Amino acid sequence: MSIRERLSGNEAAAIAMKQINPDVVAAFPITPSTEIPQYFSTFVANGTVDTEFVAVESEHSAMSACIGAEAAGSRAMTATSANGLSLMWEMIYIASSLRLPIVMSLVNRAVSGPLNIHNDHSDAMGVRDAGWIMLFSENNQEAYDNLIMAHRIAEHKDVQLPLMVCQDGFITSHSIENIELIEDDKVKEFVGSYKPEHYLLNRKEPIAIGPLDLQAYLFEHKVQQANAMRNAKKVIEEVAKDFEKMTGRKYSFFEEYKLEDAEIAIVCMNSTAGTTKFVVDQLRNQGIKAGLLKLRMFRPFPTEEIAKSLSHLKAVAVLDKADSLNGAGGALFEDVTSAMYVNNVHVPTVNYVYGIGGRDTTENQIKSVYDDLLEIVKTNKIDNPYRYIGLRK
Domain count, the chain: 2
**Does one domain contain both 165 and 35?**
yes
**308: nearest Cα among 259, 377, 250, 241:** 259
**Does one domain contain both 211 and 289?**
no
Q: Which residues pair with 168 in a beta bridge?
A: 108
- Of 228, 247, 266, the residue at which a domain comes to its end is 247
Q: Where are the alpha helices (DSSP H) in the chain?
A: 9-20, 35-45, 59-71, 82-87, 89-97, 122-126, 140-154, 184-191, 218-247, 272-285, 303-310, 331-342, 363-379
**357: nearest Cα among 176, 169, 86, 104:** 169
Let me know: does 318 contact 350? Beta carbons within 8 Å.
yes
Q: At 88, which CATH number?
A: 3.40.50.970
Q: At 294, which CATH number?
A: 3.40.50.920
pTM of the predicted model as reported, rounded to 2 decimal places:
0.98
**Does one domain contain both 242 and 263?**
no
**Does one domain contain both 260 and 304?**
yes
User: What's the gap between Cα 30 and its chain centre?
Assistant: 18
Let me know: does 220 contact 261? Beta carbons within 8 Å.
no
pLDDT, tens digit only, all 393 positions of the chain: 689 999 999 999 999 999 999 999 999 999 999 999 999 999 999 999 999 999 999 999 999 999 999 999 999 999 999 999 999 999 999 999 999 999 999 999 999 999 999 999 999 999 999 999 999 999 999 999 999 999 999 999 999 999 999 999 999 999 999 999 999 999 999 999 999 999 999 999 999 999 999 999 999 999 999 999 999 999 999 999 999 999 999 999 999 999 999 999 999 999 999 999 999 999 999 999 999 999 999 999 999 999 999 999 999 999 999 999 999 999 999 999 999 999 999 999 999 999 999 999 999 999 999 999 999 999 999 999 999 999 998
**Does one domain contain both 212 and 283?**
no
Does residue 393 belong to any structural domain of this protein? no
Does residue 374 belong to any structural domain of this protein? yes
Quick count: other Cβ atoms within 10 Å of Cβ 368? 15
**Does one domain contain both 211 and 356?**
no
| Residue 92, amino acid | I
**Does one domain contain both 221 and 302?**
no
Domain that holds residue 65: 3-247
Euclidean distance between CA atoms 179 and 90, whole angstroms: 36
**Does one domain contain both 156 and 278?**
no
Let me know: does 228 contact 253? Beta carbons within 8 Å.
no
Let me know: does 187 contact 19? Beta carbons within 8 Å.
yes
**52: nearest Cα among 19, 29, 27, 28:** 27
3-state helix, strand, coil in the chain (%, to 5): 40, 20, 40
Phi-psi region of 47 (alpha: psi -120 to 50; beta: other; left: phi over 0): left
**Does one domain contain both 225 and 274?**
no
Does residue 167 belong to any structural domain of this protein? yes
**Does one domain contain both 298 and 236?**
no
**Does one domain contain both 140 and 176?**
yes
**Does one domain contain both 309 and 235?**
no
Does residue 57 belong to any structural domain of this protein? yes
